[in-house]
């Protein structure tokens, strides 16, 4: 029997019972669609992680968090600024952070208040869209100047019928102290540490005075070259190791690369486990195909006997039933890829993050679905091919 003839007969047989074919391919379809959707979700999560990590600062920046040892729970501003003397460090921005209440007119909002130095702008890559930045005289004179985030400005001025873009020059109170808004920060969105638009920045010296804070627990640094990040991290850790007398739990140094590796590692582990579940779904789908094909062999015993009596060889019968199994699993795979891509688009819209399904993933999913058809279709195909013509013709 010619290969084309066998393919035509197999396709006709599959199409002759559409409901059975649809039910047979359902497991494969779900498995492939799940794999595609999970890969897309993994890509979306990776893009989201990359976006979130990028908000922590530029790739050449690192963050130092002080948890403290015993009664020493922070560094002084001078001790933090001294880290800028290390090799390959071009900027240091110590930060004090606390929760406060900002008020304008009758409107009061809870907001994160950060005490900063002028270097904050360059190190954190966080500029103003209107007005000026905190300057050295503000630090020296402990002025009550404030930079306000876009969301905080909107929350604070909305009920007072003031355009947030007209915030510069207006006076607000922070925990009862009158401040003048000297700058409106650019919008930076959310990050791993919270919203960058719901905060107020004031001179670090002023923050220490009104909030009675003597030290800093967060220090942001910028290095000359990302290739030197490893050596800078080692130098910072050595300084802190000496400061806290060998207690490595008293501080943590984090850079974007390490944060990305850690988050992606967790993300990949979760996605891998989900894909294993999807692979099990494909196997279950293959078992379903095998069961349907075994039933089909039983129903078509007389047909097999007639074909064999007319000269069909064992390999012809084997080939036809294998092709039927592969056609069912292949169709399931194709539909699964289509549905999976639709699902990936929906996931991207919901997560507000671009999704991506690599071509090799789609080809691999389709190839695996066809492979499942061959593996689980062989047993019923071999059973059909092994029937003796006399026994098959006597079957009722």
Q: How confident is the model over 278-335, as pLDDT tens digits?
A: 677 777 777 777 777 777 766 666 766 676 676 777 777 777 777 777 888 888 888 8
- More confidently predicted of 392 and 22: 22
- More confidently predicted of 395 and 6: 6
Kindly state the average pLDDT of the residues 262-286: 71
- pLDDT bin (cut points 50, 70, 90) of residue 192 is low
Cα–Cα distance measured from residue 271 to residue 301, given in angstroms and rounded to the nearest whole number: 45
- pLDDT bin (cut points 50, 70, 90) of residue 150 is very high
- More confidently predicted of 79 and 45: 79
- More confidently predicted of 275 and 218: 218
Kindly state the average pLDDT of the residues 217-244: 87
State residue 274's pLDDT score.
67
Place of tokens 């905080």: 152
pTM: 0.61
State residue 326's pLDDT score.
80
Cα–Cα distance measured from residue 118 to residue 201, given in angstroms and rounded to the nearest whole number: 11
Residue 253, pLDDT > 70, answer: yes
Residue 1, pLDDT > 60, answer: no
Give me the chain's average pLDDT, please.
80
State residue 291's pLDDT score.
76
Residue 346, pLDDT > 70, answer: yes
Cα–Cα distance measured from residue 73 to residue 71, given in angstroms and rounded to the nearest whole number: 6
Angle between helices 256-299 and 359-385 (to 10 degrees): 20
- More confidently predicted of 6 and 160: 160
Is 67:252 a contact under the CB 8 Å cutoff? yes
Query: Lowest-pLDDT range, 11-20, 221-230, 344-353?
Result: 11-20
State residue 52's pLDDT score.
60
Residue 390, pLDDT > 60, answer: no
Kindly state the average pLDDT of the residues 72-85: 86
State residue 205's pLDDT score.
94
Model confidence pLDDT, tens digit, residues 4-61 = 766 676 677 667 777 777 777 777 888 888 888 877 777 777 666 666 655 555 667 8
Distance (Å) of CA 48 to CA 43, 59, 60, 198: 8, 16, 20, 20
State residue 231's pLDDT score.
87
Q: What percent of the chain has pLDDT over 70?
A: 80
State residue 88's pLDDT score.
87
Residue 2, pLDDT > 60, answer: no
State residue 395's pLDDT score.
52
Place of tokens 């009104």: 210
Kindly state the average pLDDT of the residues 230-245: 87
Is 129:142 a contact under the CB 8 Å cutoff? no
DSSP code of residue 142: T
């Amino acid at each position: 029997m010619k290969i084309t003839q066998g393919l035509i007969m197999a396709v006709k047989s599959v199409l002759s019972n559409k409901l059975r074919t649809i039910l047979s391919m359902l497991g494969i379809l779900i498995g492939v669609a799940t794999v595609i959707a999970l890969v897309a979700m993994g890509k979306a999560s990776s893009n989201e992680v990359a976006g979130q990590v990028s908000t922590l600062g530029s790739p050449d920046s690192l963050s130092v968090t002080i948890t403290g040892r015993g009664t020493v729970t922070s560094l002084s501003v001078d001790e933090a600024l001294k880290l800028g003397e290390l090799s390959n460090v071009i900027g240091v921005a110590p930060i004090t952070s606390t929760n406060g209440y900002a008020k304008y007119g009758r409107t009061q909002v809870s907001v994160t208040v950060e005490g900063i130095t002028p270097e904050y702008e360059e190190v954190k890559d966080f500029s103003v869209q209107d007005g000026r930045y905190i300057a050295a005289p503000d630090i020296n004179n402990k002025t009550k100047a404030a930079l306000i985030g876009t969301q905080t400005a909107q929350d604070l001025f909305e009920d007072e019928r003031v355009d947030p873009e007209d915030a510069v020059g207006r006076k607000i109170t922070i925990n009862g102290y009158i401040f003048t808004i000297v700058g409106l920060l650019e919008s930076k969105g959310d990050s791993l540490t919270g919203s960058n638009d719901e905060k107020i920045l004031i001179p670090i010296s002023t923050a220490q005075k009104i909030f009675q804070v003597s030290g800093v627990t967060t220090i942001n640094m910028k290095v000359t070259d990302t290739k030197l990040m490893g050596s800078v991290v080692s130098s910072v850790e050595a300084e802190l190791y000496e400061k806290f007398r060998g207690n490595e739990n008293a501080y943590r140094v984090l850079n974007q690369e390490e944060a990305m590796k850690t988050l992606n590692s967790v993300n990949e582990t979760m996605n891998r486990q989900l894909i294993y579940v999807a692979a099990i779904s494909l196997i279950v789908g293959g078992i379903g195909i095998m069961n349907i094909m075994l039933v089909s062999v039983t129903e078509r015993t007389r047909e097999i006997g007639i074909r064999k009596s007319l000269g069909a060889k064992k390999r012809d019968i084997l080939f036809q039933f294998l092709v039927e199994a592969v056609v069912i699993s292949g169709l399931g795979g194709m539909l699964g890829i289509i549905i999976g891509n639709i699902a990936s688009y929906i996931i991207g819209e919901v997560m507000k993050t671009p999704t991506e399904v690599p071509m090799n993933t789609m080809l691999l999913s389709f190839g695996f679905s066809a492979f499942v058809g061959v593996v689980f279709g062989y047993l019923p195909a071999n059973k059909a091919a092994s029937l003796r013509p006399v026994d098959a013709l006597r079957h009722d």
